[in-house]
Amino acid sequence: MPWQNNNDNGPSGADAGETGSGSSNGGGSGSGGNSGPGPRNPWGDGPPQRPSGPRPGGRDPFEDLLRRGQDGLRRALGNNAPGPRGSGGPAMPSGQVIGIGIAIIVALWIVLTSFYRVDAQERGVVLRFGRFVDTTDPGLHFKLPWPIDSVVLRKVEQINSVDIGATGGSAENLMLTGDQNVINLAYAVRWKIRNPELYLFELAEPEQTVQEVAESAMRAEISGAGLNDVIGPQRAQIAERVRERMQELLDSYRAGIEVRGIDIKQADPPQAVDASFKDVQAAQQDAQKYLNDSRAYAQTVLANAQGSAAAFDAVYAQYALAPEVTRKRMYFETMEGVLSKVDKTVVETGGVQAYLPLPEVQRRSRAAPPAEPKPAQ
Amino acid sequence: MNAITRMPLLWASVAFALIVVAMSTLYSVPETAQAVVLRFGKPERIVNAWDPKAAFGTSGAGLVAKVPFIESVIFVDKRVLDLDMEAQTVLSTDQRQLVVDAFARFRITNPQKMVQTVGTELNAADALKRILASRLRNELGKQPFAAMLSPERTALMETIQTTVNQQARQYGAEILDVRIKRADLPAGRPLDSAFERMSSARNQEATTVRAQGAKQAQLVRAEADAEAARIYANSFGKDPEFYAFYRAMQAYRTTFQDGNANVVLGPGNEFLREFEGRRSAR
């Protein structure tokens, strides 16, 4: 029995072993409790107190029944009453009550500690004096009563999650990438128990192991990848590779743990260099803007060219039919339009020095003969 | 019942003696522990010893008997144990610092030896921790910085594991796995300079992206200009002389549009040729 070794084992090594077994017993068997005094009480001074309690008020039918039963038992045993009765009245009935009390308690004990229930998402691992006996599926099961068999229940269907690195931004989980950049990574590991026996018996600290293995696998994977890969589209592949690597490692420990997936929640450059990273994105936007502007310019220029060319072609087609007339017409129409709006001075005689009564000489524009005679033909 | 009630004291003492003997004879070994049985302090045998091939339930755990009062039992953990090491700074061959945080997994494969040499698993873990830390520093110190990060690390770890295992065997332990959990730049100067380098690299990238964008934009403009010139030349080239005239007419219109001009027209002007009434036939 587990508690007995406490008595004769002085060395501290025994304590370490004992706590291990104690915790595994205590964690699982809810029916039994794990203290020594439990079962020892019934044979000690427990039961006599219970029947002696209701004795004074012994009028009810149950008390009568009990007493009749005691009498019958006494007669059956062939007990010569005078001895105990002579020494003291209450002594003889209490001896009978002890027997019945023990029987009741033993019955209760067997019933209460022999059945256990395994919930839908659990598996029960049955231990007989610490030795593995069986793993049971959900349902109601029978086992040997408590000190002999104990059950440890573990939730095998439940998916546990371990968060590594914080997304809040307070404490950065910095990691070196293969190109010696630094990245702030936060991720979660989802895992569940695949094999409850291995999980219970093989690893001393399964949850810590999962976390450490995850960190190691993630670092190994990140240190083989470039910064842009980690930030960018390769996240999913990296997560998958980390999962495989973790599973391999845990299997090599025979951990009985299945890694369901890695979720990379955040893979960002550290805050210290965040501004520079954002500037790159801004630069990409800027470059796109330059390109768009130039395209718009190109469209304008081309449209202008096509328009002008088409206009010229149209005019030229007509001009080609009657060059002389068209040319003259165009010239005069233009001159008409131009000269009708401006101040005009006509110098009549060729030999006379031109007197220029410029009425508005103060105007900044010099009097320039716009229609400098160009030989028409 | 009869006898008990007659001599309760005797029976009680007999029962007590039986219980004491039973308690010092029987002990239960959980699946997670190996039991070292000592006879007067000398290791005698091991119950539920670690055996990779034995299935659970067949390895000897459960209720076991020993010789009462003469033999005592020490329990040693049978499971894979954790060896978490403190982070330590390692200097690479190219004089760069790296903070390395490693962990190892070990198992007590020879509990008798472990009990004799260090006593408990905790002491064994401490001893292994010291050995591992120094081995790790030595081996990593022989590596250039880049190798500490690269996948070659696996081979490195195996080397460390093998050398540490030789010493671990003295304590009855076996190292299953040595892994680097973290390998980071130390906070302060090295980390800051890494950040600065990252920043400058990004700034360079940003500048390059902008310059490339500007270049592309220029190319697009130039192509458009060239295409426009081609279209113009195609069209206007049909009659350069007429184009000069045509274009001049357009230019006059736009130039004098605002009307802020004084025009002095000479008599020879083409426009006034008819002004004097057909002075000269053309």
ipTM of the complex: 0.71
The single-letter code of the amino acid at A262 is: I
**Would an 8 Å CB–CB cutoff place B40 in contact with chain A?**
no
pLDDT in tens, B96-135: 888 888 888 888 888 888 888 888 888 888 888 888 888 8
> Beta partners for A261?
A190
Distance of alpha carbon A29 from alpha carbon A26, whole angstroms: 6
Enumerate the residues of chain B whose CB falls inside 8 A of the CB of residue A368. Answer: 261
Distance from the A79 Cα atom to the nearest Cα atom in chain B, whole angstroms: 8
DSSP structural state of residue B187: T
Distance of alpha carbon A169 from alpha carbon A201, whole angstroms: 38
**Would an 8 Å CB–CB cutoff place B244 in contact with chain A?**
no
Enumerate the residues of chain A whose CB falls inside 8 A of the CB of residue B149. Answer: 176, 178, 180, 223
Residues 6+ apart with CB under 8 A from A253: A202, A203, A209, B80, B105, B176, B177
Distance of alpha carbon A237 from alpha carbon A242, whole angstroms: 9
Distance of alpha carbon B109 from alpha carbon B105, whole angstroms: 13
**Which of B:197-236 have CB within 8 Å of A?**
198-200, 202-203, 205-207, 209-210, 212-214, 216-221, 223-225, 227-229, 231-232, 234-236
The interaxial angle of helices B189-236 and A274-321, nearest 10 deg, is 0
**What confidence score (pLDDT) does residue A43 get?**
46
Distance from the A188 Cα atom to the nearest Cα atom in chain B, whole angstroms: 16
**What confidence score (pLDDT) does residue B209 get?**
92
CA A147 to chain centre: 41
- In terms of CA atoms, which chain B residue is nearest residue A292? B217
CA distances from A50 to A85, A98, A104, A136, A266 (A): 21, 10, 12, 38, 65
- How crowded is the C-beta side of B245, counted as CA atoms within 13 Å? 21
DSSP structural state of residue A205: S
**Would an 8 Å CB–CB cutoff place B95 in contact with chain A?**
no
Residues 6+ apart with CB under 8 A from B241: none
CA angle B149, B154, B157 (to 5 degrees): 100
What phi, psi does A262 have (nearest 5°)?
A: -115, 130
**Would an 8 Å CB–CB cutoff place A294 in contact with chain B?**
yes
* Tokens describing residue B222: 């130039």
* Tokens describing residue B138: 């030595």
- Return the closest-CA partner of residue A120 out of A138, A147, A99, A142: A138
Burial class (CB in 10 A: 0-12, 13-18, 19+), B268: exposed
CA distances from A347 to A203, A360, B264, B274, B282 (A): 116, 17, 7, 15, 21
Mean per-residue pLDDT pooled into runs of 10, chain B (282 residues): 71 90 84 84 80 74 79 84 85 84 87 84 87 86 77 74 87 85 81 86 91 93 92 87 88 81 73 64 45
**Would an 8 Å CB–CB cutoff place A234 in contact with chain B?**
no
Distance of alpha carbon B129 from alpha carbon A233, whole angstroms: 40
Residues 6+ apart with CB under 8 A from A193: A154, A155, A156, A199, A256, A257, A258
Written as one string, the DSSP assignment of A223-248 is TTS-HHHHHTTTHHHHHHHHHHHHHH
- Helix (H/G/I), strand (E/B), else coil: B79: coil
**Would an 8 Å CB–CB cutoff place B256 in contact with chain A?**
yes
The single-letter code of the amino acid at A357 is: P
**Would an 8 Å CB–CB cutoff place A126 in contact with chain B?**
no
Contact B73, B34 (CB under 8 A): no
Contact B154, B178 (CB under 8 A): no
Exposure class string for B179-188: b at 16+ Cβ within 10 A, else e: bbbbbbbeee
Distance from the B131 Cα atom to the nearest Cα atom in chain A, whole angstroms: 20
- Interface test mutation site (partner A, options B1, B28, B51, B58, max chain A beta carbons within 10 A): B28
- In terms of CA atoms, which chain B residue is nearest residue A293? B217
Residues 6+ apart with CB under 8 A from B260: A342, A363, A365
**What confidence score (pLDDT) does residue A8 get?**
41
DSSP structural state of residue A213: H
**Would an 8 Å CB–CB cutoff place A181 in contact with chain B?**
yes
**Cβ-based neighbour number of residue A309 at 10 Å:** 18
**Would an 8 Å CB–CB cutoff place A343 in contact with chain B?**
yes
Residue whose token pair is 């010291």: B130
Contact B252 A371 (CB under 8 A): yes
* Tokens describing residue B109: 């494969």
Which parts of chain A register pLDDT below 50? 1-58, 80-91, 352, 354, 362, 364-368, 371-377
Distance of alpha carbon A159 from alpha carbon A215, whole angstroms: 19
Distance from the B137 Cα atom to the nearest Cα atom in chain A, whole angstroms: 18
DSSP structural state of residue A30: T
Written as one string, the DSSP assignment of A72-99 is HHHHHTT--THHHHHH-TTHHHHHHHHH
**Would an 8 Å CB–CB cutoff place A358 in contact with chain B?**
yes
Distance of alpha carbon A226 from alpha carbon A375, whole angstroms: 75
Contact B267 A290 (CB under 8 A): no
Contact A297 B253 (CB under 8 A): no
Contact B31 A301 (CB under 8 A): no
Distance from the B89 Cα atom to the nearest Cα atom in chain A, whole angstroms: 15
Enumerate the residues of chain A whose CB falls inside 8 A of the CB of residue B184. Answer: 174-176
Between A and B, how many residue pairs show a Cβ–Cβ distance under 8 A?
382
Question: H or E element: which one contains B183?
Answer: strand B173-184
**What confidence score (pLDDT) does residue A71 get?**
62
- Interface test mutation site (partner A, options B270, B275, B279, max chain A beta carbons within 10 A): B270
pLDDT in tens, A279-308: 888 999 999 999 999 999 999 999 999 998
Distance of alpha carbon B257 from alpha carbon B188, whole angstroms: 71
Query: Of A132, A249, A298, which has the smallest distance from its Cβ to B221's Cβ?
Result: A298
Max distance between CA atoms of chain B, in angstroms, equals 173
Query: Of A8, A203, A347, which has the smallest distance from its Cβ to B265's Cβ?
Result: A347
Residues 6+ apart with CB under 8 A from A158: A121, A192
Enumerate the residues of chain A whose CB falls inside 8 A of the CB of residue B236. Answer: 309, 312
Contact A138, A115 (CB under 8 A): no
CA A157 to chain centre: 17
Enumerate the residues of chain A whose CB falls inside 8 A of the CB of residue B24. Answer: 4, 7-8
Distance of alpha carbon B201 from alpha carbon A181, whole angstroms: 10
Contact B83, B136 (CB under 8 A): no
Contact A338 B252 (CB under 8 A): yes
- In terms of CA atoms, which chain A residue is nearest residue B257? A338
- Return the closest-CA partner of residue B101 out of A134, A116, A145, A219: A219
**Would an 8 Å CB–CB cutoff place A95 in contact with chain B?**
yes
